[in-house]
Amino acid sequence: MNAQAPTAYGLSSEARNLHWLLTNLVDEVPGIRSVAVVSSDGLLLLSSDPGAAAAASPAGQPGAPAGPRGSSADLATIVSGLGSLTTGAARLMDGGTVKQTMVAMEEGSLFVMAVSDGSLLGVHAAPDCDMSVIAYHMALFVGRAGHVLTPELRSELRKSMESAQ
């Protein structure tokens, strides 16, 4: 599964580096089904490509897509909503900043981690994944990506995602 790289030639070196980091995360960490980076306003900035598997076989069939139903936009919506919910809960409980949220389900796991100024990294993983390995690699991604995710870069990534659709 590879990250979407919409017209990589037209992207800045920072944007290409983020695409590379996402591709590396997906390709190198066992159990990851799909990944989305979402801006603070809920817009998809980067994603892996669960849509490619969806075209190959109908849902529920062997070889069916491993990501959430539909598209990477669905994962972005879920990540954004869960991030908002947990931030609100932390505020009500005087819990400080939410660093990571994990949802364990029968058929998979969902991890959400703060990247920078409200941006979020979401990972949908297989049920048999090693949660600590995924959390560790997400933290590495956040450490590498967080400082370069400037307003200008977020705008560039948003535009590249829109042009890819």
Residue 4 inside a domain? The answer is no
pLDDT, one tens digit per residue, over 80-116 is 999 999 999 999 999 999 999 999 999 999 999 999 8
- In the predicted model, is pLDDT for residue 30 greater than 80? yes
Residue 116 inside a domain? The answer is yes
DSSP string, 50-79: HHHHHHHS-TTSTT--SSSSS-HHHHHHHH
> How far is Cα 127 from Cα 104, in angstroms, rounded to an integer?
8
Residue 95 inside a domain? The answer is yes
**pLDDT computed for residue 85 by the predictor:** 96
- pTM for this one? 0.81
Residue 48 inside a domain? The answer is yes
> How far is Cα 113 from Cα 47, in angstroms, rounded to an integer?
15
Residue 6 inside a domain? The answer is no
Residue 144 inside a domain? The answer is yes
Domain with 151 in it: what CATH number?
A: 3.30.450.30
Q: Which residue range forms the structural domain that includes residue 118? A: 11-56+66-164
Residue 45 inside a domain? The answer is yes
Number of domains observed in the structure of the chain: 1
